[in-house]
């Protein structure tokens, strides 16, 4: 394992993605999304996806130079056709439109069509929250969450993401899939040849397993409740947007790389000063934050809020660098060699 400075990885991603044909706006969005995600410690959705994303641009699945189409039938609701570009680029574009509407009307929503998966969605809502807004983000994905009472998956690991500003520099942020485990994290266990830390997945018959090689779906959180959250995300991102949904969505890793996936996203942004001044909202959320952290703790445990571990990990990694395991490091170096990129890792 090697610890690589965040700035070095930013430069590396920009160079690789430029060679893959991404225009400057798309490049910056994907670079920011992947690197910030790894900085926050969410390695399953971070820089490990760069080789896959690069191949998807070179093979034609993702459009590296999108021609967006944005329409707005209503004052506070827009629709963005992302022209099959990278999900990160569509996400940052959509959250920007939603923020502009919210600034004028108090609320703004954008439904995104013809996207690809945007990875971890925290980067988009954090952008809004750092600017004083409250924001939600959703996306759908290929079928991986085992249906409640079923043998196989119908819905994807469709995440729910939310952020809000407070006095602290970093906002409150909840970014969660409706599954116990993410598929990307499961793949890291499969790559390492390690068992899952629990029976978080299910085999081809829907039976729980801790063997990542046998896994065909992932178990939902809270049984039918996690399954219900995934269904809600599918309504917002698949049904509402006119995109594919359920088992009709092409799989991320096994579908031919020249085939777009036609995913949807959905964003909702609100002003935090609707009921009270922004400073009062931020003070009250900070008060809640401080009170929660001071709650009585179990032995050996801490009472935390969502995003607390990621904030601490980001501070640590800014100082120590981002850990890159040996097999990923070799893959990134091979990618650099193939594309004649001379940034040294």
Question: Is the confidence at residue 318, as pLDDT, over 90?
Answer: yes
The C-alpha atoms of residue 310 and residue 75 are separated, in whole angstroms, by: 35
From 192, 195, 185, select the one nearest 327 (Cα to Cα). Answer: 192
Contact predicate 40/3, CB 8 Å = no
* Residue 110: strand, helix, or coil: strand
Is residue 344 very low, low, confident or very high in pLDDT (cuts 50, 70, 90)? Answer: confident
pLDDT digits (tens, 9 = 90+) for 165-223: 999 999 999 999 999 988 888 988 998 899 999 999 999 999 999 999 999 999 999 99
**With pLDDT > 90 as the criterion, what percentage of the chain qualifies?**
95
Write down the pLDDT at residue 192.
86
Contact predicate 341/12, CB 8 Å = yes
The C-alpha atoms of residue 124 and residue 91 are separated, in whole angstroms, by: 6
Write down the pLDDT at residue 182.
86
Q: What tokens appear for 64 in the block?
A: 């590296």
Contact predicate 107/269, CB 8 Å = yes
pLDDT digits (tens, 9 = 90+) for 237-247: 999 999 999 99
The runs of H, that is alpha helices, within 106-182 are 122-129
Q: What tokens appear for 262 in the block?
A: 């036609």
Q: Which CATH number fits domain 2-179+220-284+307-338: 3.40.440.10, 3.40.50.300, 2.40.50.1020, 3.30.1370.60?
A: 3.30.1370.60
Contact predicate 152/176, CB 8 Å = no
Is residue 73 very low, low, confident or very high in pLDDT (cuts 50, 70, 90)? Answer: very high
Pairing between β-strand 107-115 and β-strand 77-81 as defined by DSSP bridges: parallel
Write down the pLDDT at residue 46.
96
pLDDT digits (tens, 9 = 90+) for 328-341: 999 999 999 999 99
252 to 30, 94, 269, 315: CA distances (angstroms) = 17, 22, 28, 32
Q: What is the pTM of this model?
A: 0.95
Instruction: Give counts: helices (H), strands (E), the chain.
Output: 10, 14
From 134, 154, 130, select the one nearest 143 (Cα to Cα). Answer: 154
pLDDT digits (tens, 9 = 90+) for 210-227: 999 999 999 999 999 999
pLDDT digits (tens, 9 = 90+) for 132-168: 999 999 999 999 999 999 999 999 999 999 999 999 9
Question: Is the confidence at residue 65, as pLDDT, over 90?
Answer: yes
The C-alpha atoms of residue 130 and residue 124 are separated, in whole angstroms, by: 10
The C-alpha atoms of residue 310 and residue 323 are separated, in whole angstroms, by: 15
| Residue-range domain boundaries for the chain | 2-179+220-284+307-338
* Residue 334: strand, helix, or coil: helix
Q: Residue 18 CB: number of other CB atoms within 10 A?
A: 16
Mean pLDDT within 80-96: 98
Distance of CA 7 to the CA centre of its chain: 21
């Amino acid at each position: 394992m090697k610890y690589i400075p965040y700035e070095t990885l930013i430069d590396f991603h920009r160079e690789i993605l430029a060679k893959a044909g991404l225009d400057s706006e798309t490049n910056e969005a994907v670079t920011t999304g992947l690197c910030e995600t790894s900085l926050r410690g969410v390695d399953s959705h971070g820089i490990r996806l760069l080789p896959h994303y690069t191949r998807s641009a070179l093979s034609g699945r993702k459009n590296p130079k999108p021609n967006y189409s944005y329409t707005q039938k209503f004052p506070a609701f827009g629709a963005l056709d992302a022209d099959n570009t990278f999900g990160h680029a569509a996400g940052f574009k959509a959250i920007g439109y939603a923020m502009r509407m919210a600034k004028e009307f108090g609320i703004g929503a954008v439904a995104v069509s013809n996207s690809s998966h945007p990875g971890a969605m925290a980067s988009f809502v954090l952008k809004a929250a750092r600017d004083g807004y409250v924001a939600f983000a959703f996306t759908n994905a290929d079928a991986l969450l085992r249906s409640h009472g079923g043998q196989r998956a119908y819905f994807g690991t469709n995440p729910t993401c939310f952020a809000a500003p407070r006095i602290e520099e970093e906002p409150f942020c909840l970014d969660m899939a409706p599954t116990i485990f993410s598929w990307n994290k499961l793949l890291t266990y499969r790559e390492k040849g390690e068992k899952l830390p629990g029976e978080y997945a299910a085999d081809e018959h829907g039976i729980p397993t801790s063997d990542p090689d046998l896994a065909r779906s992932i178990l939902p959180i809270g049984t039918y409740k996690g399954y219900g959250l995934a269904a809600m995300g599918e309504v917002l991102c698949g049904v509402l947007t006119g995109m594919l949904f359920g088992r009709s969505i092409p799989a991320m890793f096994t579908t031919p790389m020249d085939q777009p996936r036609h995913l949807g996203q959905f964003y909702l942004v609100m002003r935090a000063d609707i009921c009270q001044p922004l400073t009062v909202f931020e003070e009250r959320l900070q008060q809640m934050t401080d009170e929660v952290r001071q709650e009585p703790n179990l032995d050996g445990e801490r009472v935390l809020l969502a995003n607390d571990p990621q904030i601490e990990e980001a501070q640590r990694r800014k100082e120590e660098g981002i850990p890159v395991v040996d097999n990923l490091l070799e893959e990134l170096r091979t990618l650099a060699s193939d594309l004649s990129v001379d940034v040294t890792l």
